[in-house]
Amino acid sequence: MFTFAQNIFMQQQYPQKPGIDFILKQAFFYWNKTLIYQMIFSVIYMALFSTVFMYFSGRYGIMDQFLGAMSDYMKIGPAGLEAYKNNISTIISSEGFQNFYLGMVGTLIFLYPLNLGFFQIFRKIDLKENVELKDLFAGYNGLNFFRYASYFIFWYFLYSIIAQTLILPVIWVMITLFVAPLMFFQNKTIFEGIALNWKALKMFFIEILVCTIVAVLFKYIGFGIFLIGGLLTFPFWNAMIYSLYKTIFKEEA
């Protein structure tokens, strides 16, 4: 298994930065080599998420309330916009919606460690080791679940605070992009990971920005164009993060 140097970036060893094309090709290589696991991930993720969504929505009548508000607005037209906004505010402030929201956030927290399994799978590919289905669940082994679930709670809490702004959520995503792999591979704490992520962002800003945009677009384009193909593109984000991480951070055998 690889061990890592003291957070030394690869550019200290190589005189020129790797090109964006290299990072993208590497990400698509990992994604293409793990299509079956991409599909399994998406099926598990969406099946559990949709099941919880339908349960809490049905229990508290959330969808019926939103559809009712929308129906009233469609009947009245633009003149009823203020009433529509008030209806939506009333629904969102209700106890039922708060319980629904907490249920969905809890589901996201539970599912987040599933992403970490891809880091183990990609590393096994690098080491030419056999990949097994259980590798996909590496984020749930031992105390891993509590560690990564705690990180996601911290991440999501701050994200929800700044979600109403346009730029801050993007910045928050970029300055926490490598925290999970740093925790996974180097056993860093959350704040150590953010500090190292910030250093990487300052040195590789363009590469990280471009690759992040490509990853987000490709992640969701499968649903928009190929529908069911989204099951394969949905987890692509992890391959891009690993490709960037592997390129930027120096590894020693």
Q: Are 20 and 249 in contact (CB under 8 A)?
A: no
Tokens of 128: 């030419």
- 35 sits in which H/E element: helix 35-60
Q: Are 119 and 185 in contact (CB under 8 A)?
A: yes
Cα–Cα dist 193/4, whole Å: 14
Q: Are 20 and 207 in contact (CB under 8 A)?
A: yes
Sort residue 142 into left (φ over 0), alpha (ψ -120 to 50) or beta: left
Cα–Cα dist 202/93, whole Å: 41
pLDDT at res. 105: 97
Cα–Cα dist 177/202, whole Å: 13
pLDDT at res. 80: 67
Of 198, 175, 214, 194, whose CA–CA distance to 20 is shortest?
214
Cα–Cα dist 43/51, whole Å: 12
pLDDT at res. 5: 40
DSSP summary character for residue 114: G
Pairing relation of β-strands 3-9 and 249-252?
antiparallel
Cα–Cα dist 110/187, whole Å: 21
pLDDT at res. 72: 75
Question: Strand pairing partners for 251?
Answer: 4
Of 182, 190, 188, 177, whose CA–CA distance to 241 is shortest?
177
- 251 sits in which H/E element: strand 249-252
Sort residue 16 into left (φ over 0), alpha (ψ -120 to 50) or beta: beta
Sort residue 233 into left (φ over 0), alpha (ψ -120 to 50) or beta: alpha
Cα–Cα dist 194/103, whole Å: 28
Predicted TM-score (pTM) of this structure = 0.86
Low-confidence ranges of the chain (pLDDT < 50): 1-15, 253
pLDDT at res. 21: 93
